Amino acid sequence: MEISSPSFKEGENIPTKHTCDGENISPALEIGALPEGVLSLALIADDPDAPAGTWTHWLMWDIPPLNGIPEGAAPGILGRNDFNQTNYGGPCPPLGTHRYFFRMYALNCTLNLPEGSTKDELLEAMRNHVLASGELMGVYSR
């Protein structure tokens, strides 16, 4: 499953607009062909280069099987990120260049997890339901 963005290409800089130094608005994501049988999508965006370990920036699930998510949109249920918020938290590295992974999962079910669930709860609920996945990686430094 291919994931891309009109805002940045794989491995390129994430525009300031989508970070804590700008508008902190989520980038638009484009989703390639979905597998047969997909009933919902889930999204995890995180930074494995954070000093304290992987930092979760955005969690969303029960997204309808779409071919894209518009900039600033949240068409699914939002989980609690590591900013302790249920929204998109853009890149905000304390120092150096960090990698940010936007991972989309095609699922054979809806998850019906409550809003504010954690990344671990999402991963557990998705277990054995992932039909396909794809990722887009961008970088950002301050």
**pLDDT tens-digit readout, 3-36:** 999 999 999 999 999 999 999 999 999 999 999 9
Number of domains forming the structure of the chain: 1
> Would you say 133 and 5 are in contact if contact means Cβ atoms under 8 Å apart?
no
For residues 77-100, average pLDDT: 97
The end-to-end CA distance of the chain, in Å, is: 31
Q: What single string gives the DSSP state of each residue in 76-91?
A: SEE---TTSSSS----
The predicted model gives 101-128 an average pLDDT of: 97
Is residue 103 predicted with pLDDT exceeding 90?
Answer: yes
Band (pLDDT 50/70/90 cuts) for residue 135 is very high
Query: Mind listing the pLDDT tens digit for each residue in 45-80?
Result: 999 999 999 999 999 999 999 999 999 999 999 999
pLDDT at 112: 87
Mean pLDDT of the chain: 97
pLDDT at 82: 97
Domain, as residue range, for 11? 3-141
CATH code, domain with 25: 3.90.280.10
Q: What are phi and psi of 86, to 5 degrees?
A: -110, 65
Distance CA 62, CA 95 (A): 34
- Tell me the whole-structure pTM to 2 decimals: 0.96
pLDDT (0 to 100) of residue 60: 98
- φ/ψ (deg, to 5) at 131: -90, -35
Whether residue 137 contacts residue 14, with contact meaning beta carbons closer than 8 Å, is answered with: no
User: Hey, is 27 helix, strand or coil?
Assistant: coil
DSSP H or E segment with residue 122:
helix 119-126
